[in-house]
């Protein structure tokens, strides 16, 4: 039953628990506009009495009360009055990031929060409380971005969330707020690697990242490492879009500009070992794999003297998109080693070559070589590959490069839980266990590339 009439709203009781009068006043001012019945308590014991007597629909509690923690009170309420909903108000990073105590008994509001944030959480708990117009807000979708240092010291381009569980996200930074370096450091120390933006805001986040990348490329006050990190980050969020959502010709040309800029910054300034370390620390599974394949394929091609602008662009995009057909494969399957696949699972996985090429043919103006790479990157010189079992002379040369680097990247940046090999170990593995699969000249140049 909705609570939209004034009458039913008045029957809706909210208990505010806060030892600080200013805290109570702030929440009271925010809630009074909703014409609800508001109760107050300054301590845990006082709150318990009111909960027993008044049975509020909602409890909003501060974390630190004089006689107990707010979360203890809210868990007690959940146990004894399961219908009662609850919000914990805190600014304590320990509390926000501790999944045990930030379980599902209550929502969390991170202080200081604007009124819109309180509304968002209220709508989430009581979808009809603020009227029907805002109901859609309760079904938010989120996209993951890595928690990178460059975020600090800037104004947040979009609101940023922390993921606590499958469905639970807590907004830790509001759009437009300054992202304090200290705060980022605190979350990082807690092992937080990713933050989330709302899907609806994702495009604007990405667009700003793309614009910034043009400026950052030419900045002289940033180190090569900072620049490369930034580019890897933007490429990463862009790939999430390519690999998880639909994409069109415009996305393709943006991706091309971005990956070529990334290459320019990365190749010019970094040793390939440093680059690999950077990618390891930012390993986002499939996306990092594809970026690594893109970069290392171009590096290998240069060693083979295949370095015209067109070849570089095709390889960069071919590397980035070679596994695009995997976007429909469940993550659970992708993370397992192929030796554990059932016959049916193997068929699903092998089909990523054909489905990827098909997907790319639907986008206008993509060079046909890019979808040849997607189609043929698992073909082996001895004819034992898939989907067609082509032999060396029939495999498109740039697909051979991507195929070899794909295998190399799999060893140095594993997507399953295998320990990574060093680049040299990876090449030795290819030489010893994959004899006849790859072009010997390419394997030789790959070895030279990592030895230099
Ligand atoms: Fe693949
Ligand atoms: Fe791959």
Can you give the pLDDT at residue 30? 78
**Each residue of 348-372: pLDDT tens digit?**
999 999 999 998 888 877 889 999 9
Q: How many whole angstroms from 290 Cα to the centroid of ligand 2? A: 6
Distance 401 CA to ligand 1 centre (A): 13
Task: Please tell me the number of the ligand nearest to residue 292's CA.
Answer: 2
User: In angstroms, what is the span from residue 292 Cα to ligand 1's centroid?
Assistant: 13
Mean pLDDT score across all residues of the chain? 83
- Phi, psi for 139 (deg, rounded to 5): -105, 65
Percent of the chain at pLDDT > 70 equals 88
323 alpha carbon – ligand 1 mean position (Å) = 5
Of 69-73, 163-167, 227-231, 236-240, which has the strongest mean pLDDT?
A: 69-73
Q: What is the pLDDT of residue 152?
A: 56
Q: What ligand has the least distance to the C-alpha of 374?
A: 1
State what percent of residues in the chain have pLDDT above 90: 37
Which ligand ends up closest to the CA of 293? 2
Question: Which pLDDT tens digit goes with each residue over 6-36?
Answer: 556 667 899 999 998 888 888 888 787 777 8
Lowest mean pLDDT: which of 226-230, 259-263, 442-446?
A: 226-230
Determine the distance separating the centroid of ligand 2 and the alpha carbon of 242, expressed in angstroms. 15
In the reported structure, the alpha carbon of residue 291 is separated from the centroid of ligand 2 by a whole-number distance in angstroms of 10
Q: What is the pLDDT confidence band of residue 306, given thresholds at 50, 70 and 90?
A: very high
Instruction: Give distance in angstroms: CA of 377 to centre of ligand 1.
Output: 6
Centre of ligand 2 to C-alpha 309, Å, is: 23
Nearest-Å Rg of the Cα atoms of the chain is: 27
| pTM across the whole model | 0.65
Please work out, in degrees rounded to the nearest 5, the angle formed at the alpha carbon of residue 22 by the alpha carbons of 100 and 174. 55
Gap from CA of 353 to ligand 2 centroid (Å): 10
Cα 322 to middle of ligand 2, angstroms: 6
SS3 161: strand
| Å from CA of 286 to ligand 1 middle | 10
Sheet of 160-163: strands edge to edge? 142-146, 194-198, 160-163, 169-173
Q: How far is the CA of 62 from the centre of ligand 1 (A)?
A: 50
The alpha carbon of residue 449 and the mean position of all alpha carbons in its chain are separated, in whole angstroms, by 31
CA of 323 to the centre of ligand 2 (A): 5
Nearest ligand by distance to the CA of 386:
1
Query: 222-451 — its CATH code?
Result: 1.10.3210.10
Per-residue pLDDT at 133 = 45
Pairing mode, strands 160-163 and 85-90: unpaired
CA dihedral (285, 413, 310, 224) in degrees, to 10, reads 100
Task: List pLDDT tens digits, range 33-67.
Answer: 777 889 999 999 999 999 999 999 999 999 999 99
Strand partners, 13: 37
Question: Token pair for residue 224?
Answer: 């090569």
Angle at 210 between CA 204 and CA 212, to 5 degrees: 100
**Domain residue limits, the chain:** 6-137, 140-219, 222-451
Query: 344 and 292 in contact (C-beta within 8 Å)?
Result: no
Structure tokens at 279: 């990618």
Query: DSSP 3-state assignment of 333?
Result: helix
Decide: helix, strand or coil at residue 391.
Answer: strand
Residues 298 and 448: their CA atoms lie apart, in Å, by 14
pLDDT of residue 217: 79
Helix (H), strand (E) at residue 78: helix 70-80
Instruction: Tell me the mean pLDDT in the region 316-322.
Output: 92
Distance of CA 309 from the midpoint of ligand 1 (Å): 25
- Calculate how far, in angstroms, residue 322's C-alpha sits from the geometric centre of ligand 1: 6
Residue 339: burial class (beta carbons within 10 Å; 0-12, 13-18, 19+): exposed
Q: Which pLDDT score, from 0 to 100, does residue 379 have?
A: 98
Give the model confidence (pLDDT) of 164-189 as tens digits. Answer: 766 678 888 888 888 777 887 888 88
For residue 182, give both structure tokens.
């200290």
Which pLDDT value is given to residue 350? Answer: 95
Averaged pLDDT for residues 146-157:
62
Class in CATH terms, 6-137? alpha beta
- Residue 142: strand, helix, or coil: strand
Task: Please determine, for residue 208, whether its predicted confidence score (pLDDT) is greater than 80.
Answer: no
Ligand nearest to the CA of 402: 2
**Cα-based angle 18, 22, 23 (whole degrees, multiple of 5):** 40
Which segment of 53-57, 156-160, 278-282 scores lowest on mean pLDDT?
278-282
Q: Is the peptide bond before 27 cis (omega within 30 degrees of 0)?
A: no
User: What is d(CA 440, CA 49) in angstroms, rounded to the nearest whole number?
Assistant: 79
The Å distance, Cα 383 to ligand 2 centre, comes to 19
Nearest to 40 by CA among 17, 57, 72: 17
Q: Give pLDDT, residue 272.
A: 66
What is 81-141 written as a DSSP string? -TT-EEEEEE--HHHHH-TTTTSSSSEEEESS--HHHHHHHHHHHSTTTT-GGGGGGGS--
What pLDDT, in 10s, does the model give residues 408-423? 999 998 887 788 999 9
Which helix (H) or strand (E) covers residue 331, if one does? Answer: helix 331-334
Residue 235 contacts by C-beta under 8 Å, 6 or more apart in sequence? 258, 259, 262, 287, 291
CA of 406 to the centre of ligand 2 (A): 5
Position 283 scores a pLDDT of 62
User: Given this model, what pLDDT does residue 9 score?
Assistant: 60
In angstroms, the CA 310 to CA 301 distance is 12
Q: Which residue has the tokens 């799999």?
A: 410
Question: Quick one: which of 30, 33, 59, 28 has its CA closest to 46?
Answer: 59
Question: What is the 171 CA–ligand 2 centroid distance (Å)?
Answer: 34
Q: What is the mean pLDDT of residues 106-131?
A: 81
- Residue 406: exposure state from Cβ atoms within 10 A (0-12, 13-18, ≥19): buried
Ligand nearest to the CA of 408: 2
| More confidently predicted of 450 and 45 | 45
SS3 at position 77: helix
Interhelix angle 309-321/286-303, nearest 10 degrees? 150
Q: Please tell me which residue, 359 or 230, carries the higher pLDDT value.
A: 359
Distance 131 CA to ligand 1 centre (A): 48
Q: Which residues of 231-255 are buried (b: 16+ CB within 10 A; e: fewer)?
A: bbbbbbbbbbbbbeeebeeebbebb
Distance (Å) from CA 362 to ligand 1 centroid: 19
- Give distance in angstroms: CA of 290 to centre of ligand 1: 9
pLDDT tens string 373-399: 999 999 999 999 999 999 999 999 999
Question: What is the Å distance from ligand 2's center to 347 Cα?
Answer: 16
């Amino acid at each position: 039953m909705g609570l939209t009439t004034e009458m039913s709203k008045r029957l809706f009781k909210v208990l505010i628990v806060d030892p600080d009068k200013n805290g109570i006043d702030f929440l009271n001012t925010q809630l009074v506009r909703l014409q609800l019945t508001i109760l107050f308590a300054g301590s845990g014991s006082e709150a318990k009495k009111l909960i027993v007597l008044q049975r509020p629909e909602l409890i909003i509690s501060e974390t630190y009360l004089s006689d107990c923690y707010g979360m203890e009170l809210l868990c007690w309420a959940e146990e004894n009055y399961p219908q009662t909903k609850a919000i914990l108000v805190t600014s304590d990073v320990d509390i926000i990031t501790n999944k045990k105590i930030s379980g599902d008994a209550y929502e969390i509001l991170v202080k200081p929060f604007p009124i819109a944030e309180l509304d968002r959480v209220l709508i989430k708990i009581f979808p009809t409380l603020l009227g029907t117009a805002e109901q859609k807000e309760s079904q938010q979708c989120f996209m993951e971005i890595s928690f990178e240092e460059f975020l600090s010291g800037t104004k947040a381009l979009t609101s940023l969330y922390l993921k606590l569980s499958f469905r639970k996200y807590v907004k830790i930074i509001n759009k437009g707020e300054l992202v304090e370096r200290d705060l980022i450091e605190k979350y990082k120390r807690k092992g937080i690697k990713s933050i989330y933006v709302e899907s609806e805001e994702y495009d604007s986040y990405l667009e700003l990242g793309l614009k910034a990348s043009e400026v950052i490329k030419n900045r002289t006050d940033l180190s090569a490492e900072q620049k490369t990190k930034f580019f890897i980050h933007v490429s990463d969020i862009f790939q999430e879009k390519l690999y998880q959502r639909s994409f069109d010709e415009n996305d393709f040309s943006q991706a091309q500009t971005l990956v070529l800029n990334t290459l320019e910054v990365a190749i010019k300034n970094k040793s390939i070992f440093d680059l690999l370390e950077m990618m390891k620390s930012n390993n986002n599974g499939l996306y990092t794999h594809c970026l690594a394949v893109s970069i290392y394929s171009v590096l290998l091609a240069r060693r083979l003297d295949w370095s015209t602008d067109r070849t570089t662009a095709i390889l960069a995009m071919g590397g980035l998109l070679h596994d695009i057909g995997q976007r429909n494969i469940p993550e659970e399957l992708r993370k397992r080693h192929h030796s554990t696949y059932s016959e049916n699972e193997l068929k699903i996985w092998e089909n990523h070559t054909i489905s990827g090429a098909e997907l790319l043919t639907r986008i206008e103006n993509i060079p046909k070589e890019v979808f040849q790479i997607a189609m043929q990157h698992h073909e082996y010189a001895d004819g034992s590959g898939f989907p067609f079992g082509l032999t060396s002379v029939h495999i498109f040369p740039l697909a051979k490069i991507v195929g070899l680097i794909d295998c190399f990247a799999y060893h140095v940046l594993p997507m399953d839980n295998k320990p990574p090999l060093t680049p040299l170990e990876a090449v030795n593995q290819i030489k010893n266990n994959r004899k006849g699969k790859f072009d010997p000249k390419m394997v030789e140049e790959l070895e030279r590339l990592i030895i230099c």
